[in-house]
Amino acid sequence: MNEFHKAKLSEEIRRCSILKYGYPLNATRLADEYNLRAHKATVISRETARKWLRGISFPDPVKLQILINWLEISAEAIYPPPPKNKYYQLVKDGNPLDNAISISVCHLTDSSKKIVLSLSTQLEASQSNQEGGSNA
């Protein structure tokens, strides 16, 4: 998981624990409370909880689901959709291209984003020309 998602999870654990308990959980309390709910999942150490709180590591999907259910964390807060602008949301016929492609574009340099946008525009123009030529 990238640094953005680790930081967002850290923020959400703090925000949601304040809403639920009235204060942010420290690593010991986070680990203890998590382990009470872990059931068949692997329990975590205080060190693991500390890494989640500091945005150093990210839980595996099973542990993340426990956190989401327990603290009522919004998955959208951790995995927000890409911003809607010409570099992030490549659209063909009103349908966004595969989300993985859009997210990948988010991490490109500005010059690379311009190249992708240019290629996308050229491809769209080419497809429009082909469609227009077949209708004539």
Q: How many CA atoms lie within 13 A of 92 on its CB side?
A: 16
65 falls within a domain: yes
Structural domain that includes position 101: 91-135
Give 46-69 pLDDT, tens digit per residue: 999 999 999 999 999 899 999 999
Both 72 and 11 in one domain: the answer is yes
Domain count, the chain: 2
Both 36 and 100 in one domain: the answer is no
**40: helix, strand or coil:** coil
Output the pLDDT for position 111: 73
Q: How far apart are CA 104 and CA 75, in angstroms?
A: 19
Does residue 4 carry a pLDDT above 80?
yes
The token pair at 100 is 């993985």
Q: How far apart are CA 128 and CA 134, in angstroms?
A: 10
Both 109 and 59 in one domain: the answer is no
95 falls within a domain: yes
56, 78, 100 - which closes a domain: 78
Does residue 97 carry a pLDDT above 60?
no
